[in-house]
Amino acid sequence: MTENNTQRPAFEPLKAIGLFLACFGLAVMGAALLDMPLQDKVINLIAGSVVLAIGAGAFLLGWKRSKKDT
């Protein structure tokens, strides 16, 4: 028998977590379009931007790790 060394790529949870956080950050930023005081809109934009950046970073790190394994 011949031995097959092909491995199945491992699941990278950072991609899923990053995608979720990025979508959540967009939802928080979208809440700034609702009728509310200016201070609340600015807080939503800043918080949404931070969560979006963290999510995008996690997704890109997971994508880079999964590409390195293959």
The answer to the question of residue 5 being in a domain is no
Range of the domain at 60: 13-69
The band of 9, judged by pLDDT with boundaries at 50, 70 and 90, is low
**3 domain residue, yes or no:** no
Asked whether residue 18 is domain-assigned, the answer is: yes
Grade residue 4 by pLDDT with cuts at 50, 70 and 90.
low
Number of structural domains found in the chain = 1
The pTM score is: 0.80
* Residue 12 pLDDT class (50, 70, 90 cuts): confident
pLDDT digits (tens, 9 = 90+) for 32-68: 999 999 999 999 999 999 999 999 999 999 999 888 7
- Assess if residue 46 is contained within a domain: yes
Does residue 58 lie within any of the structural domains? yes
Token pair of 62 as six digits: 């997971």
The three-state (H, E, C) secondary structure of the chain, written as one string: CCCCCCCCCCCCHHHHHHHHHHHHHHHHHHHHHCCCCHHHHHHHHHHHHHHHHHHHHHHHHHHHHHHHHC
